[in-house]
Amino acid sequence: MSEARMTERMGFFTDTSVCIGCKACEVACKTWNDVPADDLDLLGMSYDNTGSLNANNWRHVAFIEQTVEDNTRWLMSSDVCKHCTEAGCLDVCPTGSLFRTEFDTVVVQADICNGCGYCVPACPFGVIDRREDDGRAWKCTMCYDRIGDGLMPACATACPTESIQYGPLDELRARADERVRELHARGQADARLYGHSPEDGVGGAGAFFLLLDEPEVYGLPSNPVVTTRDLPAMWKRAGLAAVAVAAGVAASFLGRR
């Protein structure tokens, strides 16, 4: 990204410790972005009727019921696209439909998408999905149209507990560090941050989370790695192999002459 386009990086911090599972974020996202409604699915998974992120669910509130020392507790979390620093979906898109905005978020331009689907397996979080009716890819845009006008994303605006926080990413990371220290001081030793570190497998996420259990409990990969990480080395090896083959063919031809 050129310096001329670069502005302060914006992101999401989702504090699952205060999520009440109200699904206001899901409704606000669908309403503002005109995301098609799904039929009400009874999945047999507690109050979770969306199941996962997909082309028609850009926010997904997970409900996890646990028994801890004979007591029942609920873990709830609103999942969303991670807007990765190193985004595999962006690397493989052949049309430029996926692009990185001036806020360092990753957005799909549906009118340019050709429905090739390369981005779907490229996402280590399983976020991007294609709609059955037109085959195009869809995901969270972090309400690019709203933040460009200085507004908060619809989901963060609708969240009644401020579980979903939006703002400059550096400020959110500092706030998250303080929140973890606060929870540890209260005896919640399992509180940890996910997607917070720039040293992780996707270079740090633009949407990160405070969790109260292991990532897998929330349906998140424990160690996500950008799927295109090895592409430069692969292309280099392929180039060297092509040069070697060309040299061999030339040597053989010259030898026969």
Please report, for the domain that includes residue 74, its CATH number: 3.30.70.20
Arithmetic mean of pLDDT, 209-229:
93
- Mean pLDDT lowest among 27-36, 43-52, 79-88, 122-131: 43-52
Q: Give the pLDDT confidence of 43-94 residue by residue, as tens digits.
A: 666 678 888 999 999 999 999 989 888 888 999 999 999 999 999 999 999 9
Q: Is residue 255 part of a domain?
A: yes
Task: With a cut of 80, say whether residue 249 has pLDDT above it.
Answer: no
Q: On the CB side of 105, how many CA atoms lie within 13 Å of its CA?
A: 26
Residues 170 and 96 in one domain: yes
Burial string for 143-162 (b: 16+ CB within 10 Å, else e) reads bbebbeeeebbbbbbbbeee
Residues 158 and 248 in one domain: no
Q: Is the dihedral of CA 3, 6, 7, 9 positive or negative?
A: negative
Q: How close are the terminal C-alpha atoms of the chain, in Å?
A: 51
Arithmetic mean of pLDDT, 115-134:
95
Task: With a cut of 60, say whether residue 236 has pLDDT above it.
Answer: no
**Residues 223/199, Cβ–Cβ less than 8 Å:** no
Kindly indicate the confidence band of residue 140, based on its pLDDT and cuts at 50, 70 and 90. very high
60: β partners: 79
Arithmetic mean of pLDDT, 132-154:
96
Report the distance separating Cα 154 and Cα 131, nearest Å: 22
The range of the structural domain enclosing residue 239 comes to 228-257
Report the distance separating Cα 223 and Cα 200, nearest Å: 8
Residues 91 and 61 in one domain: yes
Residues 202 and 244 in one domain: no
> Which residues carry a binding-site annotation?
19, 22, 25, 29, 81, 84, 89, 93, 113, 116, 119, 123, 140, 143, 155, 159
Residues 215 and 183 in one domain: yes
> Which residues carry a binding-site annotation for [4Fe-4S] cluster?
19, 22, 25, 29, 81, 84, 89, 93, 113, 116, 119, 123, 140, 143, 155, 159
Residues 68 and 113 in one domain: yes
Q: Is residue 5 part of a domain?
A: no
Residues 216 and 191 in one domain: yes
- Mean pLDDT lowest among 55-69, 185-199, 243-257: 243-257
